[in-house]
A = this chain, B = another copy of it.
Amino acid sequence: MVAELEPVETRPSLRERTRIVIFEADTPAGRAFDVALFSLILGSVIAVMMESVAAVRAAHGPWLRATEWVVTALFTVEYGVRLWCVREPFRYARSFFGVVDLLAILPTYLSLVLPGSQSLLTIRALRLLRIFRVLKLSHFLGDANLLLSALRSGRRKVLVFLGTLLVLALILGSAMHLVEGPTHGFTSIPRSVYWAIVTMTTVGYGDITPQTLPGQILAAGIMILGYSIIAVPTGIFTAEIVAQWRRPVSTRTCPACLTEGHDPKARYCKDCGAPLTGE
């Protein structure tokens, strides 16, 4: 109801306009930039993958290497422009996508010193995660945030679970090393622990398998154990998501003591006894 004094609209500086194109996705120019960037990343990741295939490298090697250098040059310029136009360059450089943007160009330069390290260029694929900004962004970001916050709030429980899983794999792997012995592929404890993890996660390559009856009985027990404890992360995560979805608490604030978290049906503040209003 109160008329606000609008600031005089001045034409923003070049730096500000660049920032909006690069970092915002809502303007037509920003959206076009994001789509172009996404295509470039996707193309360069596919080029890196193709170059690793011996037959393709033999036929198109120089051309693919040239593409790689062109894309790296473009990304280097883009990284510089991002640092220049953003308001807080250090904060961007330390953010998740800031680090990814840097990692996406380093391997090409590194490959001058260490040949073969251009395989690391697929780390550029992490930049593809920006696509969630291009597609109907708010919804996708909301869903990604919901999943992330469910993962984060279940983090400690998952750490307890993983620690226990590793200790179990260590002990059960050693037991198999004793029971089966080196003649059946369980040549050392590290290799037996690797086998235990392959088995408990139900991956089951079959490159190492128990051959004796006691070994097979122990292995069957390990499988059933692994099959059962798959329930633990699932249960933790499901319960976290269900918990994220329940918002039963009223958003009202007590007008007297400013306490929050009242029952939706409460009529008096549970903390100071003052009558609640609204809702």
Contact = CB atoms under 8 A, between A and B. Distances in A.
Interface of A: 45, 48-49, 52-54, 116-117, 119-123, 125-126, 128-129, 131-132, 139-140, 143-144, 146-147, 150, 156-165, 167, 170-171, 173-175, 177-178, 182, 187-191, 193-194, 197-199, 201-207, 209, 213, 216-217, 219-220, 223-224, 226-228, 230-243, 245, 261-263, 265-275
A194 to B, nearest CB: 4
A231 B223 contact: no
Given A116-B178, A129-B164, A203 B223 contact: yes
B227 A238 contact: no
A11 B204 CA distance: 59
Contacts of A242: 238-239, 242
Contacts of A197: 220, 223-224
A270 B262 contact: yes
Contact of A139 (B156, B162, B173): B156
B188 A199 contact: no
A270 to B, nearest CB: 4
10 contacts: A125-B170, A147-B160, A147-B161, A147-B232, A150-B235, A201-B226, A202-B202, A203-B226, A261-B263, A269-B273
Contacts of A209: 205, 207
Given A147-B160, A236-B241, 10 more contacts: A54-B187, A122-B174, A125-B167, A125-B170, A129-B164, A140-B159, A147-B161, A194-B217, A205-B205, A234-B238
Contacts of A230: 227, 230, 233-234
B189 A52 contact: yes
Contacts of A162: 224, 228
